[in-house]
């Protein structure tokens, strides 16, 4: 049996509450993420973090591509060297902290292992990245953090 690729965080467990520190009610840093069981034939990794519960439709909170597949983690408040951050739903690159207007929201950190590097400008957004990676995904994993204003 093959062991599946995983994305985890030392800051929170899957389907548990995001610590306030990583939200708009705290410092707003990106949470630390850890990767394991990356397929050996991977050429790059992609992280897409979005909120499918946003009132106006899915909101992209973070978009990074061309992460070296040898990376085993992303530290808090950092971006892997050599990777590219794309445009989030806020209209700018970089991590947009969880900040639901009401109710509880899911923040889905999706990790993709690809068989290629992406040739995209840093002005690319989530839909452009998702369209380009469709035929290049070797494996994918996800980690879900929950947050609502009442969690603080």
The per-residue pLDDT for range 111-143, each reduced to its tens digit, is 999 999 999 999 999 999 999 999 999 999 999
Question: Over 60: is that where the pLDDT of 1 sits?
Answer: no
The reported pLDDT for the residue numbered 149 is 74
Structural domain spans, the chain = 6-151
Strands across the sheet with 44-51, in order?
A: 16-17, 137-148, 104-114, 44-51, 59-67, 84-85
51: its two tokens: 């909120």
Q: Which of 82, 84, 72, 69 is nearest to 115 (CA)?
A: 69
- pLDDT surpasses 90 at 109: yes
Contact indicator for 64, 84 with CB cutoff of 8 Å:
yes
Residue range 55-91, pLDDT digits in tens: 999 999 999 999 999 999 999 999 999 999 999 999 9
Which pair of structure tokens corresponds to residue 21? 């520190």
Instruction: Kindly indicate whether the domain formed by 6-151 is annotated with CATH number 3.90.280.10.
Output: yes
Residue with tokens 């897409």: 48
What pLDDT score was predicted for residue 13?
98
For tokens 């992209």, what's the residue?
Answer: 60
Confidence tier at 2 by pLDDT (50, 70, 90): low
Least confident among 30-34, 101-105, 112-116, 125-129: 101-105
User: Is the model's pLDDT at 4 over the cut of 80?
Assistant: yes
The end-to-end CA distance of the chain, in Å, is 41
């Amino acid at each position: 049996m093959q062991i599946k690729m995983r994305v985890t965080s030392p800051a929170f467990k899957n389907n548990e509450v995001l610590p306030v520190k990583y939200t708009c009610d705290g410092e707003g840093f990106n949470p630390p993420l850890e990767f394991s069981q990356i397929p050996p034939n991977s050429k790059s990794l992609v992280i897409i973090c979005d909120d499918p519960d946003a009132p106006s439709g899915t909101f992209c909170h973070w978009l990074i591509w061309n992460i070296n597949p040898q990376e085993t983690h992303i530290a808090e408040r950092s971006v892997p060297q050599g990777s590219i951050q794309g445009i989030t739903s806020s209209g700018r690159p970089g991590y947009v902290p969880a900040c639901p207007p009401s109710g509880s929201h899911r923040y889905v950190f999706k990790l993709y292992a690809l068989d290629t590097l992406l040739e995209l400008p840093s002005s690319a957004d989530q839909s452009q990245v998702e369209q380009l990676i469709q035929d290049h995904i070797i494996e994918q994993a996800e980690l879900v953090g929950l947050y609502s204003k009442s969690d603080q």
